Amino acid sequence: MNRDFLEELGLSVQEADGVIEAELELASGQAVNPLTRQFISKAQFTVVGDRLITIFPAELVGMPPINLSQVSRAAALEDILVQSLNDAIMHVQRRSEQLTALGISPKVEASSLQLSAELKVDRWHFSIGTDRLGNFRVTRAVNDGSEMTTSSAHGFELSEFREKGALEQYLVAMFGESRPPRTKTPAPSKRSGEVDTEPAGQAAAPVEQLLYFGDIVGAFGARATVPGRSQLEVLIELKVGEEHYRFAAARVSGRTFRGLLAGAQGKLWADRFELSDFPGIKPLLASLLKVPESRVEVL
């Protein structure tokens, strides 16, 4: 993405080693953390292709990437951020109510507005949480002290379960030897409280659906190739304790990538790298934080 274009939008831009970062002052006063009651005064992004990925503050990390082709001014960009934040807060409220109705205690981390919950079933201990769109997934599963979680997505729809016991049985089956029981999926419908993430007056873009590499390998096999000039972008969320981090990488050409790793306090690492020399995301974050690799979770 052209640096001049970003600056014309009203963003402050920095570039180092092929990694572009941009910062936007939020002037409307509409972005507010409802738990801390603090105004969010600025947002920081990394630029991947033609999209902005928010890397600061914690309340905005994990929001859907913003397609710059749909933004022509800073005010419109701020509107998108505010709307995304309000939508995420709405999802947290709605999903918290559903958890409470099942007899599960929801937990919302004040600084990041991340919703999570814990379930214990016999020797099983599950940690579940939502993304910014309100989608539930298992973030950790432990059986009798043994880690069962993998980097694969373990998503589920909470509204399909009418009792806590049914959800617990499903989660045990998901990670155990048996197959998870089939649940009847209701016909999709738009809930009355949901709104689009584009600012008023603009046509709403379709919601981007995430694609996992495991799905690609499962469909085409590990020997499938990516043409040398094809664009390739990678997004991965990680967690160490209660702190969330995001890794983003974009292919430059061949096996050369430029990457960025950031947390709630901003950038931790940014550099170009060769795929064969990359140590792995978990070892990289563990090295930067000087913690054991076992403490790093891929969400």
Q: What is the pTM of this model?
A: 0.62
Omega before 57 cis (within 30°)? yes
pLDDT beyond 70 at 17: yes
Q: Which residue has the higher pLDDT, 95 or 15?
A: 95
Mean pLDDT is lowest, of 154-163, 219-228, 250-259, for: 219-228
When mean pLDDT is compared over 149-158, 161-170, 209-218, the highest value belongs to 161-170
**Per residue in 47-61, pLDDT tens?**
888 889 999 999 999
